[in-house]
Each structure stands twice: as C-alpha cells, then as structure tokens.
Structure 1
C-alpha cells in the first residue's frame, strides 16, 4: 500500500510542477443600451456586443481594455474609454479608483472614479455593463424646409 501511495504523490507533484500557472478569467460584457458596444483587449481586434445582448471575454494577462459605444448609423463612437486590467491567476478585474484601501482590497474593489455610462467590476470583478441610460446620441439634422409662394 505504501508503494502506490508514494508513486501517486510523486506523479501528482510532477504534474503540478510541469504545468505553469497562468491567468485566465471568463467575464461578461453586457449591453443594456440601444447602442452598439465594442470591446478590445490590449489593442487586439474589437468584439461587437449588439444592443440588449452580452458576450463573454477572457482575460489572459494584465493590460488594457477599450470600450466604445456607437450611435445607430454613426461611424465615430459616442463614447470611448480605456481602463487598465489586472489578471493574476483567477483574479481578474478592471482597475478603477483612487488608491483608497488599495493595498488591502486591490485596485478594482471600490472605485470613486466616475465610469458612467459603464458599470465596471459588477456583478463580478472584471464584468462590464453598458447601462440603459447615461449616453445620448445627437439628433439628426432637420430636413430643409421648402417654402413656396403663390
């Protein structure tokens, strides 16, 4: 009985030592707005999140995330913001805040920075939600009036 136990312990130790620790968290980007939202991690290709839908993203390493919102039919974004991200093993979050309690709780715990129209790190650390309000699109120009005199 002792031989198989030692052999199993040695095999388990070898396998855990051979697999490097890597970050990897699946998080949600939720779009509760009528706008098209795009998300890009570390300058990579953007992922589109249509209105009233959500997508899963994977944080593989610490870096930056850029979130943009587009009005219907617009080419330029109505909102664009970039945030730092932290991904350490299974802890992934968007870095917000001013450093208050940062050593104890981390950069993404309690942010006092205004992230409107986004809600970040809620309901889970690393999640991003575009709210239903807080962003407006410019009105299209009024059509030219035709005046006729008889």
Structure 2
C-alpha cells in the first residue's frame, strides 16, 4: 500500500494521535482494497465540525467524523488527479467525549473513527442493516489487526 497522507491539525490537544498513527490506521483500512491513495485528514474543533455537518448533512451539531470522497468534475476528461481518495474531517472534542462516555481508550476510538471514515471514502455505508453489518464487520476486522478490541462489543451486549 502506497499512501500519501496529509494531516491538518486545526486544534491542539494532547490526545490527538500523531501522523504516523493515522498513516498506519489508514493503510490498514486500505490494505487489499487500493494499491495507492492520497488522503487528507483534518482535525478540527467543535465549530468547524458543526458548520460542515450543517452544510453537508443538514445537522446543526458537531459530529465525530465526516467523509468527503473525491469526485472528478465532469469537465475533466483525463485523469490528472490520479489516486485522490478524499478528505476526512475528525472533530477532536467529539472523539474525546465519545471515548470517555463509552469507556473506551482514546487511542482506540481515534483509530475507529479513522478506519470508519476511510471505509466511507471507499464507498461503504451503514444506512441499511445489511450495509451496517458489512461495514461494522470490516471495522472490527481492521481494528483487531491493529491490536484494538471490537468497538461495538458493548452495544452487542445490550
């Protein structure tokens, strides 16, 4: 896997993983699915997340991760953009709050959000039960390959 990753940190927080961690997690999510990719991961605060979530999803609140797959404009006839996968926008305060509320290690939740977002960029979704089952299965498999436990385990025990 040849991944060109750009990490943009708009907020500072001690709990935000470093670029090498994001790189390893993204490569694990892409392994066997793409040979080459370019990806931007932007780490933001509550306001930017809320604005983007409102503009693109119609929800006026911050969210953990937003995925923006790259789409070649119709006016482009050749493929000058090559391997652009898209952008992920991850809200650091939401990720930290969710990890605490769910009693999950912060690093594990960051890894989950990155893997979840990358799978969205690859076209996976969870709008139906069948899609959710497939996507969650992939997330669990990828996260376990990275040494993290099943992020959905507590939900399954209910």
Query: Could you tell me the TM-score, scaled by structure 2's length?
Result: 0.25
- Structure with greater Cα Rg: 1
More helix by share: 2
Could you say which structure has the greater relative contact order, defined with CA pairs below 8 angstroms and 6 or more residues apart? Answer: 2
More strand by share: 1
Query: Could you tell me the TM-score, scaled by structure 1's length?
Result: 0.26
